[in-house]
Chains A and B, each alone.
Chain A
Amino acid sequence: MDQPSAEDPAARAAVETRGLTKRYRGGQLAVDSLDLTVPRGSVFGFLGPNGSGKTTTIRMLMGLIEPTAGRARLLGAPMPRAARSVLPRVGALIEGPALYPFLTGRDNLVRFDAADPTADPGTRAARVSAALERVGLTAAARKKARAYSLGMKQRLGLAAALLQPRELLVLDEPTNGLDPQGMREIRTLVRELADDGTTVFLSSHLLDEIEQVCTHAAVMTQGRLIVQGTVAELAAGSRGRLSITTPDPAEAVRVLKEHGVTDIVALEERVTGELPASGGSAPPLDLADLNAALVRAGVRVRAFGTERASLEDAFVALTGEGFDVAG
């Protein structure tokens, strides 16, 4: 039964690359045999330091750049060969919005829609209005795009990606230039789209953001894919630290040690430590039991919890570098 389902285009991954490689003229290897699989229906976070090859990968997926080697499939069809049939079902925001400054916001969308040969001119005005409404730009639709702020341009770029019902959305840094309110709206929008069954491929440098909306993620560095999987799996790679605030740190340290917590650091009223690894023979340590044990031992606990294992920790552990390091 597995074999036929692999043949079925609907069952295929939304994005699939095998050995995808791009070497620019001059010899720079931007992407090095990438094997990426984005499951259908997922919200996929694409991470990596600047210069790690994310944008080159996205451009190859969208048929803007010819791969040097390997192949890429979008919605089950080979790119860039099937661009004409596939791309109308894909919305994209690539490396920030690009607009015609001398056209109004609405006319910009009309122009991008006219470029799509599968877009029905009869419903164009209605679809443009709906897209503007969806990103909250209806009031500014008649303004020239040159008068737009960066956040408004970003919203208009998103609107262009939403002109048609899409099966896949490729969003490169969609919250760039947005205020916190705008970022929240975008996250809500992404969730809404995902609920509708749209696969979202999201590249971002904001790990928080990826963590909040993504179900899957992949990390690239120096043109190579180092890891891909569900966000939970990735974050599990670096577990959170236990953190307790108490006026009785010495006693707390003793109790924690008894329960197998390692790497304990006591700083004035704050005690942190590494929780014992779950799995193996021992049953996982229940935090509630630990807290009860502390209280039984007469430790006055002001705050208790784990500092959430952030994707950033996982990321730094994987790439061994910060974000502004270019390969």
Chain B
Amino acid sequence: MSRVEAGGEARMSKAGGGSAGAPARRPGPLWTLALFRSELGTTFRRWRTIALLGVLAAIPVLVGIAVKIETSDGGSFGQGRGGDGEGPAFFAQITNNGIFLVFASLAATLPVFLPMAIGVIAGDAVAGEAGSGTLRYLLVAPAGRTRLLLAKFTTVMAFCLVATLVVAAAGLATGALLFPLGDVTLISGTTVMAFCLVATLVVAAAGLATGALLFPLGDVTLISGTTVSFADGLLRALAVAGLVAYSLIGIATVGLFISTLTNSGIAAMAATVGLLVTVQILDTIPQLHAIQPYLFPHYWLSFADVLRDPVYWDQLAKNFGLQALYVAVFGSAAWARFTAKDITV
């Protein structure tokens, strides 16, 4: 019934539109946001995206279980391994305090898994649409090239944040289930109370409410020797998640730029991930120290400095500037390329 009415309406307005020439529809100011919403929905409802997030969420669980098994005889994990790099340093702390699983998980996924997932989403963003031909229909809709690219950029950035929060939340949930939560001992050492409520909020924010009820109250110890409250620890965990997400926007923008260069989503994904691996290798070759401060992964592990007391801002600030530079340069390049591109597919 309503469908019939709608059909009739459309036909009538068509006739009106045809005879009256062009009574241009006056777009509402917020209508343009529909594309952004559509972009987010299309990306996050896709099975591939959900599978990627699932794999990312599984990593903290696996790490947690591995640490639990290894230490089930009462021994301490990481004893005698020494902390080569910040990553392993977190692992040693997990058995004392579950919240360190968050840091350990982020440190473990930041070099490979997180950027790879982002490479897939960013690389496919434009090239995938071009390959399937849907790009031409979006552009004649007309989405507007700049507007479409902005929507893609926003979505990729949102994915960076969501992916990081998923890892952090899975780490927190697993850590809370398998290990005691307690005071966070920084690289100095203070003791405070824990607030499950905050933990619950973090988990809920990442869509992982499961297990939230299982959080025990407790104190949290950070790595610097200082101990801060569990609440403070959680805030720092959130800050770390934010920093990790921010660290990924460089590679995300590079991926988006690569995506505008080709009509094959697979090729763009492969190129982005290949570039990621190459740059990571370059970052470890001592002879290349002159260019290393300009490589996007160079300051990635600087997020650990948030766990120091006082916080070391130097590397954090450098990371901030570097990622912003990558976004500016490759964002402009992507825009220049995409707005001038002939869409022949």
Smallest Cβ-Cβ distance to A103: which chain B residue: B42
A side interface size, CB within 8 A: 55
Instruction: Kindly state the separation between the CA atoms of A95 and B137 in the bound complex, as whole angstroms.
Output: 11
Q: Which residues of B are found within 8 Å of A113, using beta-carbon distances?
A: 141
Residue from the list A92, A96, A110, A167 in contact with B17, Cβ < 8 A = A167
Given A99-B134, A112-B137, A127-B10: A119 and B21 within 8 A (CB)? no
B337 interface hit (Cβ, 8 Å): no
Q: Check if B144 sits within 8 Å of A196, measured CB to CB.
A: no
Instruction: Kindly state the separation between the CA atoms of A118 and B147 in the bound complex, as whole angstroms.
Output: 13
Instruction: Kindly state the separation between the CA atoms of A85 and B148 in the bound complex, as whole angstroms.
Output: 16
Q: Which residues of B are found within 8 Å of A98, using beta-carbon distances?
A: 132-134, 136-137
Instruction: Kindly state the separation between the CA atoms of A115 and B147 in the bound complex, as whole angstroms.
Output: 9
Given A129-B6, A197-B18: A59 and B143 within 8 A (CB)? no
Q: Which residues of B are found within 8 Å of A100, using beta-carbon distances?
A: 42, 132, 134
A94 interface hit (Cβ, 8 Å): yes
Instruction: Kindly state the separation between the CA atoms of A85 and B142 in the bound complex, as whole angstroms.
Output: 9
Instruction: Kindly state the separation between the CA atoms of A114 and B38 in the bound complex, as whole angstroms.
Output: 7
Q: Which residues of B are found within 8 Å of A126, using beta-carbon distances?
A: 2, 6, 9-10
Q: How many residue pairs at the A-B interface have CB separations less than 8 Å?
A: 156
Segment 295-345 of B: residues with Cβ below 8 Å from A? 340, 342-344
Q: Which residues of B are found within 8 Å of A85, using beta-carbon distances?
A: 24
B289 interface hit (Cβ, 8 Å): no
Q: Check if B144 sits within 8 Å of A63, measured CB to CB.
A: no
A134 interface hit (Cβ, 8 Å): yes
Q: Check if B143 sits within 8 Å of A134, measured CB to CB.
A: no
Instruction: Kindly state the separation between the CA atoms of A66 and B341 in the bound complex, as whole angstroms.
Output: 8
A65 interface hit (Cβ, 8 Å): yes
Segment 19-56 of B: residues with Cβ below 8 Å from A? 19, 21-22, 24-25, 27-28, 31-32, 34-35, 37-38, 42, 45-47
The smallest C-beta distance from B101 to any residue of chain A, in angstroms, reads: 33
Q: Check if A9 sits within 8 Å of B22, measured CB to CB.
A: yes
A308 interface hit (Cβ, 8 Å): no
Smallest Cβ-Cβ distance to A61: which chain B residue: B140
A78 interface hit (Cβ, 8 Å): no
Instruction: Kindly state the separation between the CA atoms of A117 and B37 in the bound complex, as whole angstroms.
Output: 12
Smallest Cβ-Cβ distance to A170: which chain B residue: B140
- The B interface is mostly helix, strand or loop, or mixed, namely helix
B139 interface hit (Cβ, 8 Å): yes
Instruction: Kindly state the separation between the CA atoms of A89 and B340 in the bound complex, as whole angstroms.
Output: 23
Q: Check if B144 sits within 8 Å of A117, measured CB to CB.
A: yes
Q: Check if A64 sits within 8 Å of B13, measured CB to CB.
A: no
B side interface size, CB within 8 A: 49
The smallest C-beta distance from B140 to any residue of chain A, in angstroms, reads: 5
The smallest C-beta distance from A177 to any residue of chain B, in angstroms, reads: 14
A234 interface hit (Cβ, 8 Å): no
Residue from the list B2, B3, B133, B144 in contact with A138, Cβ < 8 A = B3
Q: Check if A88 sits within 8 Å of B25, measured CB to CB.
A: yes
Residue from the list A62, A96, A103, A121 in contact with B140, Cβ < 8 A = A62
Smallest Cβ-Cβ distance to B8: which chain A residue: A130
Q: Which residues of B are found within 8 Å of A131, using beta-carbon distances?
A: 10
A75 interface hit (Cβ, 8 Å): yes
Given A112-B137, A120-B25: A130 and B31 within 8 A (CB)? no
Residue from the list B3, B37, B141 in contact with A112, Cβ < 8 A = B141
Type the 1/0 row for A49-82, where 1 means its CB is closer than 8 Å to any CB of B.
0000000000100111110000000010000000
The smallest C-beta distance from B151 to any residue of chain A, in angstroms, reads: 9
Type the 1/0 row for B265-290, where 1 means its CB is closer than 8 Å to any CB of A.
00000000000000000000000000
Q: Which residues of B are found within 8 Å of A63, using beta-carbon distances?
A: 139-140, 142
Instruction: Kindly state the separation between the CA atoms of A127 and B136 in the bound complex, as whole angstroms.
Output: 21
A84 interface hit (Cβ, 8 Å): yes
A222 interface hit (Cβ, 8 Å): no
Q: Check if B144 sits within 8 Å of A130, measured CB to CB.
A: no
A160 interface hit (Cβ, 8 Å): yes
Given A63-B142, A87-B141, A196-B15: A114 and B35 within 8 A (CB)? yes
The smallest C-beta distance from B345 to any residue of chain A, in angstroms, reads: 9
- 26 A–B pairs (Cβ distance < 8 Å), ordered by A: A59-B344, A62-B136, A63-B140, A64-B136, A64-B344, A65-B344, A84-B142, A85-B24, A87-B141, A88-B142, A89-B22, A92-B137, A92-B140, A98-B133, A102-B47, A116-B141, A117-B34, A117-B35, A118-B25, A118-B31, A120-B25, A121-B31, A138-B3, A166-B14, A197-B15, A197-B19
Q: Knowing that A118-B31, A130-B9, A133-B6 are A-B contacts, what are 9 other residue pairs whose CB atoms are under 8 Å apart, sorted by A's residue number?
A: A84-B144, A116-B142, A117-B27, A117-B143, A120-B25, A120-B31, A129-B2, A167-B18, A198-B18
